[in-house]
């Protein structure tokens, strides 16, 4: 049989979780990571990262709006997906998706963004003309009070929402890891470390995404990049990525040392079918290079221009590394037989519903969402808004 080496159970030859299922944990990870970065400023009072606060929230929302699309496209019967909300199966980790997603979208992210932007929204609903005025009027939800006392309440509630948001972000992404980690049928996935690894890699990738977006948007706006901010973001990215890498290595070392019945099969896979995506892309290029470069920025005095370049390179590599990690988990977990006697091949289609083009589209789509959000809710208040606020 083409693409099969050794013996696969006959029903295993086809892979059912495609590149879209690779994207799903990747995108939710970016959401969780971006939100954690936002919470640094809000809850932990890390002032240095303030310029990225609103951008991180909007990035999280843009990616969160995209997150269910790969799942929806993957389902054999997407028209039945509402059943997960109405008749969830209590023992299924996947059944919780709808609830965790809705909770995170509505109770955390949208609410926090609304609270944070409420003053701006009210001011824009007064200043804008035509259709946009109606849009902003609707977005005020009838709450036009922007007195100091009212804004103070917003601030307090926002802080509480962010506080709730941190465990929610962990829940959103930890649960994605649990979907894989809780399957005893698959030794490549079955690990209590899986949710933890997912969370840390999510944080690293989300922070990297916000860093890149911040630098790109600032450049496009012809503004000066706040070096204090990107230095702080890079520092957090570095430490979190070290933790992520350590956990992944712990998992690897544990597997190698324990060498259970699946080991020979998994070891073969890492040396062959996953060699490029795991050893080369994820570990060597995507992890070790950024770790070394980021380490240098922490211990050596490097010029501003060079630091910026390092941050761009490192953020990009971390994003690639985490995408490769998701690929290795999702696709890697289906390449070997549960008999441990054979291997199959994943043949990614180009233009099918679960093909490469759709995957690329779904990766770019959040950037379009973000562009709309940035137009609607500019993270950097315009001068006239500031002036109006000053006159309040």
Partner 1 sequence: MNISRRQFLILLPAAAVAWEYVEAGTPEASPNYQMSDHWWGMLIDITKCIGCGNCVRACQKENDVPDGFFRTWVERYDRMDYHLESPVVISPDGGKEGFPSVVEGAEGDYFFVPKMCNHCSDSPCTQVCPVGATFISPDGVVLVDQTYCLGCAYCVQACPYGCRYIHPEKKVADKCTLCYHRITKGLTTACCEACPTGARQLADLKNPNDPIHAFLKTHTVQVLKPQMATGAKAFYNGLDGSVR
Binding site for partner 1 (CB under 8 A): 7-14, 16-17, 71, 74-78, 80-81, 83-84, 87-89, 91-95, 97, 179, 183-186, 261, 264, 333-334, 337-341
Q: Which is nearer to partner 1, 133 or 338 (CB)?
A: 338
Q: Which is nearer to partner 1, 53 or 180 (CB)?
A: 180
Q: Which is nearer to partner 1, 19 or 230 (CB)?
A: 19
d(CA 124, CA 209) in angstroms, rounded, equals: 29
Q: Which is nearer to partner 1, 340 or 346 (CB)?
A: 340
Q: Which is nearer to partner 1, 219 or 353 (CB)?
A: 353
> Beta-carbon neighbour count of residue 385 at 10 Å?
16
Q: Which is nearer to partner 1, 85 or 276 (CB)?
A: 85
Tell me the closest approach of the beta carbon of residue 6 to partner 1, in angstroms. Answer: 8
Ramachandran angles phi, psi of 261, nearest 5°: -60, -25
Tell me the closest approach of the beta carbon of residue 176 to partner 1, in angstroms. Answer: 13
Tell me the closest approach of the beta carbon of residue 91 to partner 1, in angstroms. Answer: 5
Tell me the closest approach of the beta carbon of residue 338 to partner 1, in angstroms. Answer: 6
Tell me the closest approach of the beta carbon of residue 11 to partner 1, in angstroms. Answer: 4
Tell me the closest approach of the beta carbon of residue 25 to partner 1, in angstroms. Answer: 14
Tell me the closest approach of the beta carbon of residue 270 to partner 1, in angstroms. Answer: 19
Q: Which is nearer to partner 1, 83 or 384 (CB)?
A: 83
Q: Which is nearer to partner 1, 75 or 157 (CB)?
A: 75
Tell me the closest approach of the beta carbon of residue 92 to partner 1, in angstroms. Answer: 5
């Amino acid at each position: 049989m083409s693409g099969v080496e050794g013996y696969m159970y006959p029903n295993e030859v086809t892979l059912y979780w495609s590149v879209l299922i690779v994207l799903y944990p990747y995108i939710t990870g970016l959401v969780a990571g971006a939100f954690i970065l936002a919470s640094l400023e809000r809850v932990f009072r890390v002032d240095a990262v303030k310029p990225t606060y609103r951008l991180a929230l909007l990035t999280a929302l843009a990616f969160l709006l995209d997150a269910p699309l790969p799942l929806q496209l993957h389902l054999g019967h997407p028209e039945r997906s509402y059943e997960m909300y109405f008749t969830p199966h209590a023992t299924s980790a996947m059944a919780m998706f709808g609830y965790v997603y809705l909770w995170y979208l509505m109770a955390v992210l949208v609410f926090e963004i609304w609270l944070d932007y409420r003053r701006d929204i009210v001011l824009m609903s007064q200043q804008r003309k035509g259709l946009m005025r109606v849009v902003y009027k609707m977005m005020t939800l009838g709450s036009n009070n922007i007195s100091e006392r009212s804004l103070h309440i917003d601030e307090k509630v926002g802080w509480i929402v962010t506080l709730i948001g941190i465990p929610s972000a962990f829940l959103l992404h930890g649960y994605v890891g649990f979907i894989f980690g809780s399957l005893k049928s698959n030794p490549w996935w079955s690990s209590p470390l899986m949710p933890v690894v997912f969370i840390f890699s999510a944080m690293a990738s989300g922070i990297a995404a916000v860093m890149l977006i911040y630098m790109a948007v600032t450049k496009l706006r012809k503004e000066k990049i706040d070096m204090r901010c990107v230095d702080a973001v890079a520092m957090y990215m570095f430490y979190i990525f070290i933790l992520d890498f350590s956990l992944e290595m712990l998992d690897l070392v544990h597997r190698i040392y324990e060498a259970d019945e699946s080991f020979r099969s998994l070891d073969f896979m890492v040396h062959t079918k996953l060699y490029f995506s795991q050893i080369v892309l994820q570990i060597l290029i995507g992890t070790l290079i950024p770790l070394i470069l980021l380490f240098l920025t922490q211990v050596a005095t490097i010029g501003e221009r060079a630091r910026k370049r390092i941050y761009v390179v490192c953020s990009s590599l971390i994003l690639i590394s985490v995408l490769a990690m998701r690929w290795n988990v999702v696709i890697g977990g289906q390449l070997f037989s549960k008999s441990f006697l054979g291997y199959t091949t994943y043949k990614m289609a180009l233009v099918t519903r679960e093909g490469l083009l759709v995957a690329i589209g779904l990766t770019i789509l959040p950037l379009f969402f973000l562009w709309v959000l940035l137009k609607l809710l500019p993270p950097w208040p315009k001068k006239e808004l500031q002036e109006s606020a000053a006159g309040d």
